[in-house]
Chain A
Amino acid sequence: MNGRIFEILRMVGIAVALIGLLLVVLSPLIGESITRGSLWWIEPVAYIGSGVFILGALVAFGAIQFNTRRIAEQSGSRTWSQITQDYFDTFAHDMGRPLRRILGKQREARALLNETGEVTQHMVSELLTEIENQAPNFRLMIENVRVLVDLEDADAEPAIEPVDVAAIVRNVSDRYTPIARERGLELVWWCEPSEFGLVYGDGSALDHVITNLVDNATKFAEGHIEIQLTRTENSYLVRVWDDGVGISESHLAHVFDRGWTPELSARSEKQSSGLGLFIASTLSEHCGGELLVESQQSNGASTGEHSTTFTLSLPLDIRPAATN
């Protein structure tokens, strides 16, 4: 329907309502002029006036309502989640800009120092290293917020596409290898079978879950981190193992809670918002899989072997037809 009609209806409605209102206000005068000396006509004019006012107001209101809904329907292709996503994209871009500049300067400075072989103050090279180390944290933080925004949308479906899981594990491993080395950790990964092939799933979600698990491992490991990719008949498993002190049984139940971290419970200060594992777990479930945690705490009597293992399991094919 044409918007012009609603516009006219709205104007007519308002005019009619005004006439009605006028009738009510003027009813004593009009009534008096019609029946000189008698007040008999005052009441009916007032009644008619109120009726006309209500009718006009209803028409105007209806026209406005319909028009608004019509406009909303026309722009229905931009859903709430898309609008939020647009805002977020702008936000992420704007957040990234200052960081890109800082990181750019840092890399230039590092390159210049390497080239000239100049010996600088300890503080300066420490600063450069710190900037370098914080960059991946920042990347992950922006990503985490984005995923949270996406997960708020109840209608969001995983984006299903053919995914090379081994390549994703490799990419995450490569990203964290320098960070692990910096912290004196050895990070290794492998997949069995070696030619892992493609699965159907949400590649960016998978990348994000594994990134959060590995990031978590680099914070708690004492010497070693392992990422293993294996498969069963209809699912694949990504196991992220670290040899950190482990998580006690009472804490284990809360690992995937929003905002929970061992540091928080131990009240020590460390860089973690506790969002990572919550997001990893929520995202895994969103993709039709699950994320489990096991932990062995070291105790004096044992051989000193302690560890935490996160196991992500996802179906090899999450396409709806495949489940039938």
Chain B
Amino acid sequence: MTSKSIGGGQKILVVDDEHMSDLMRSVLRRLETDGFKPVVVAPEGEFITGDDYEAQTLFAMETKRPSAVLLDVRFGEYDSDRFKGLSILQKIIDSDGSMPVLMFTQYAHGPYRDTAVTASLSAGGSVDFIDKLASPEEVVLRLRRLIGSTPEAITIGSLFEFDADNAAVYAIDNGRRELIREIQGMKLEILNELASAMYRSEGELVPFSRLERFSEGEDSRASLRVRIRELKVSLGKAVSREFGANELIINVRNRGYRLVNPSD
């Protein structure tokens, strides 16, 4: 599901004195792969302190207009800069209360958390924390959710593309998009639920209770089953395949359904 369409070229301001480290490089690379534009704050000079980062961050907020900020808590080894990130956070929130900020921190606890929590609860602000050891995938996923951007289209494996705005699903064949006309109405609604859940979180299951409103009749569970089967057949036909019980749309232990990326 990695594609340029996810980030859509949005700028991410990266404020971390360790931006040259291998760990941060892997995050920066991941951001680029997913179509984001990382903008790294890197003050120049000999003795750079947290204050230099603060000044340059606020300047970059004005000039670069990022969609979100990735911010470290600790700057340098000076004791006074141990929580510099939190004061930078405060300044960011003061200047733009709705700016999404993802903080790299091991300090998501204790008295220092208060500043960040207060900030995250301020008007429209969205602040989230993540451990620096988190995988680059996790970082980008959190950032994506924090920005709250919905993609133009959700790709399902390399075979399908779901376009919620235009209420359409396409089969992809060698880069060509072919509209699947058979899938409309309730079936499209069901696919929308499943694709959105998959986009939000890979492990998210759509429980029966949520899907049953797209089916009717006395035995709504059975009618839902029929709809899902039809949906699966229609999708399969479009790419000349037949999807088995454990492919594409799967019934998880009678809890609900889940969309999984099909193999190529």
Contacts and interface: CB of A to CB of B under 8 A. Distances in A.
Given A161-B117, A190-B205, A194-B210, A103 B133 contact: yes
Given A89-B107, A99-B133, A100-B132, A170 B204 contact: yes
B106 A170 contact: no
Interface residues of B, number: 44
Contact of B26 (A107, A194, A227): A107
A189 interface: yes
A107 B24 CA distance: 10
A204 interface: yes
Contact of B106 (A89, A105, A174): A89
A146 B108 CA distance: 11
Contacts of B29: 111
A175 B138 contact: yes
**What DSSP secondary structure best describes chain A's contact surface?**
helix
Interface in A151-172: 159, 161-162, 167, 170-171
Given A100-B132, A103-B133, A159-B113, A188 B23 contact: no
Contacts of A139: 131, 133-134
B142 to A, nearest CB: 7
B8 interface: no
Interface string B23-59: 1111001000000000000000000000000000000
Interface string B190-225: 000000000011111111011000000000000000
B133 A96 contact: yes
Given A100-B132, A162-B121, A188-B255, A173 B23 contact: no
A104 interface: yes
Contacts of B113: 159, 204
A189 B203 contact: yes
A85 B110 contact: yes
Contacts of B111: 82
B201 to A, nearest CB: 5
A285 interface: no
B252 interface: yes
A189 B25 contact: no
A188 B258 contact: yes
Contacts of B176: none
A35 to B, nearest CB: 68
B22 interface: yes
Contact of B255 (A135, A194, A226): A226
B62 interface: no
A104 B210 contact: no
Given A170-B201, A175-B138, A192-B207, A100 B21 contact: yes
3 interchain residue pairs of minimum CB distance: A104-B22, A104-B23, A107-B26
